[in-house]
Structure formats: C-alpha cells, structure tokens
Amino acid sequence: NPNTAAQQAQRGKMSAAVKFAQSILAGVLIPFVSPFQKKMSGYNWFIKQNIGKITAKSNAVDLRFTSGTLALPTGEATGSSGAMSLTVNFENVANTADGEKMVVGVIWYDVNGGDAYYKTVEAEAGVTSKTIEIGDVSAMAEPVYHAFVALTKTGLACQDVSNNVRI
C-alpha cells in the first residue's frame, strides 16, 4: 500500500526539504556546495543531509548547508526582531593578487517551518569581520541564524568553503 502512515510521513519530509532547498538553491547550494560534490548536485547533497531534520513543524536547528575545509566562522546576532543584523568573524585567507576574495554568507529561517533566506557579501582584503543587515524577522516565531565563509577566485567556481555554523 503506497499510502501507509510511514510513506506519507516520508513524502511530507521530502516535500518540506525540497521547499527549503529551493529557497536557497541559486544563492547558496549552486555556488558554494555543488563545486565540491563529486557524485551529486549541491541540491541533492542538501536533501540527503537534511531530509530527516526538516518538517513543516520541526525544530530544524542543526541543518547542514555547506561542507568544506576553511576555518569555522564565529558570530553573533544583534538588534531587535524588527532590525536584525549578524556579525560574522572569520579568517581571511584570500590572496587578492591572485584574484581571490572571501565571501561571507548567512542563512536564516524559522525553526517552526517556512522558507529560508540568505544573503552573501564580499569581504575586502584584510577584513576579518562583516556585519550583515538582514532586516525584519518579526514574522518568525523562532528565527535561527547560520553563517559560512567561502574563498572564491575571479572567473572560477568557489575554491573552498567552511562548514556552516549556527550563530
């Protein structure tokens, strides 16, 4: 019977994971995950890592967005729910003479379900901290914030990325 409770639950998990992944596909999964996956796309990697963690009403706090070898960033969320910002501290390993630059990314979402949001910004040479304004999160009952850093090179795919870390 293809309509057992277990199968319906699995289809619900898959649907929630797909919706979540689609909201970060273009800005996070394609540029910062896909280049490091040998046997699957960044999208499929994300689904595989997180299908059991995302449901419409779950506490999805330990999600994997990125996986790499750069040092983990640290950071903090500041402000009020109407004007939130995230300060991310990181090791800047970019060699600007070779066309390299650091990119700082943040992802935020409500653990109770719904879409994820992201923002990425470039870090200038020598900069080791970036504050990223994410704006109004007052519609989220329990917002969760994650950060990652990436090393990119002009004209090439992402060179390396950190694992994401919850802020």
Residue range 28-60, pLDDT digits in tens: 999 999 999 999 999 999 999 998 887 655 556
Percent of the chain beyond pLDDT 90? 63
**Nearest 5°: CA angle at 53, between 33 and 102?**
25
> Which pTM does this prediction carry?
0.90
